[in-house]
């Protein structure tokens, strides 16, 4: 799941690519995002601060490992996406930009 992060006035976007051989990249629906840092983790998910390929926007990207959870928990994550889609546009609801289920990686 991808959520926008609005930079504060003292948080500037990188001016030049800082990708190294160790830079982790995550693909969502064919779009590449470079991981800047982890923002949090819990259970079977990790939220990363990521930079889009054009290096113009910073987002929060949640990666959920469904291979490490039972069927009921996996269904809960799927329902989270469905609910976020329904609640888009309401105040105090995180904006869902896109999502992808990678069946091969179970993420």
Q: Which two tokens stand for residue 99?
A: 């999502």
pLDDT digits (tens, 9 = 90+) for 39-81: 999 989 999 999 999 999 999 999 999 988 899 998 999 999 9
pTM of the model: 0.76
Q: Is the pLDDT of residue 98 over 90?
A: yes
User: Would you say 22 is a known binding-site residue?
Assistant: no
Between CA 33 and CA 26 the distance in angstroms is: 5
Long-range Cβ pairs for the range 89-92 (8 Å, 24+):
none
Q: How confident is the model at residue 97 (pLDDT cuts 50, 70, 90)?
A: very high
Q: Which helix (H) or strand (E) holds 52?
A: strand 45-52
Cβ neighbours, 10 Å, residue 3: 14
């Amino acid at each position: 799941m991808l959520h926008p992060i609005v930079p504060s006035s003292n948080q500037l976007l990188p001016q030049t690519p800082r990708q190294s051989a160790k830079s982790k990249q995550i693909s969502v629906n064919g779009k590449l995002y470079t991981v800047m840092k982890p923002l949090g983790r819990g259970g079977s998910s990790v939220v990363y601060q990521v930079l889009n390929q054009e290096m113009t926007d910073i987002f929060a990207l949640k990666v959920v490992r469904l291979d490490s959870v039972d069927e009921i928990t996996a269904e809960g994550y799927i329902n989270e996406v469905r609910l976020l889609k329904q609640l888009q546009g309401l105040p105090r609801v995180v904006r869902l930009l896109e999502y992808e289920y990678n069946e091969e990686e179970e993420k």
